[in-house]
Structure 1
Amino acid sequence: MSGINKVILVGHLGKDPEVRQLEGGVSVASFPLATSETFNKDGKKIEQTEWHNIVLWRSLAEVAAKFLQKGKLVYIEGKLRTRSFEDKEGIKKYTTEVVAENFTMLGRKTDFEQDSFPRQGIKNGDELENNGLDNMGF
């Protein structure tokens, strides 16, 4: 039996997505996402925030760059991916990221600057035409 690698997050963007173009014109976007939970400890309300590194690829990265910005609330589905790299001193480091497979912008329509924005989930591989909204059922 194979395993399951599924992550679902609802949180606020910590900063605007950073988009890069890789070889072959492949787009990749990344941003930190904050999720918070509240609990009571000794009669006091405590809020604990976790930060997640989010990575989006190809057309999903382009849509994120166009519509997402710091502070916005978003629902993200994806999978965990751990990768290694060498820092400036040549020391091997590891990082764990959420590779997003789709996302949905949450909140009121007035929370977004554009008059129309995708209200349903956007999946990696969706075709982008007319500002990315044509083939998404809007």
Structure 2
Amino acid sequence: MTNLVILTGRLARDPESRETQGGTTVTSITVVTDRPARDKDGKTYKDDKGYTVKDSEFHRVTCFNGLGKTVKEYCTKGQLVSVQGRLHYTQWEDSDKIKRYGCEILADKVDFLSKGATRDNQDAPEID
């Protein structure tokens, strides 16, 4: 049996990180993937400017410990990343006693396919 997810997309926002009482770092990111939109006949179509219209999907990704720390430190909104992991489903009851369901990707690997925005040393001189 296999539960494997591979996504390539851009970060919708900067990573959000927290630490559990047990000391585990948990970092959450949202990866956006696009695909061509299709009309009722199943054909792709273009907008007024001549660009192919796209449908976007937002994927919740959770990274733990060292991977989570690295993603928090080096990733920023808009950065292109590739995520490898597995699907994880959750179920809970909200405050109104309504049963809710969720799905996320638990990341095993995150590859940085583009540079993120620099957070530190923005005024540092170039290194030869």
> How many Å apart are 1:72 and its aligned residue?
0.7
Please state which structure has a larger fraction of its residues in helix. 1
Counterpart of 2:110 in 1: which secondary structure?
strand
Q: Report whether the alignment pairs 1:48 with 2:55.
A: yes
Q: Specify which structure has the bigger relative contact order, considering alpha-carbon pairs within 8 angstroms and separated by 6 or more residues.
A: 2
**Structure-1-length-normalised TM-score:** 0.72
User: Who is 1:24 aligned against?
Assistant: 22
1:87 to 91, 94, 97: 94
Report the more deviating stretch, 20-29 or 87-96: 87-96
Q: Percent identity?
A: 32
Whole-Å separation in 1 of the counterparts to 2:18 and 2:97: 24
**Between Structure 1 and Structure 2, how many residues are aligned?**
111
User: Who is 1:97 aligned against?
Assistant: 104
- Computed over aligned residues only, the root mean square deviation of the Cα atoms, in angstroms, reads 1.9
Moved over 4 A (4+): none
Q: Which amino acid aligns with 1:93?
A: R
Whole-Å separation in 1 of the counterparts to 2:35 and 2:118: 28
- Counterpart mapping for 1:1-138 below 5 A: 3-38=1-36, 41=43, 43-44=45-46, 45-107=52-114, 109=115, 111-113=116-118
Whole-Å separation in 2 of the counterparts to 1:11 and 1:42: 20
> Which protein shows a greater Rg?
2
> How many Å apart are 1:114 and its aligned residue?
7.0
Gaps of 5+ in 1: 116-138
Report the more deviating stretch, 84-93 or 7-16: 84-93
Counterpart of 1:15 in 2: which secondary structure?
coil
Q: Which amino acid aligns with 2:11?
A: L
Gaps of 5+ in 2: 47-51, 121-128
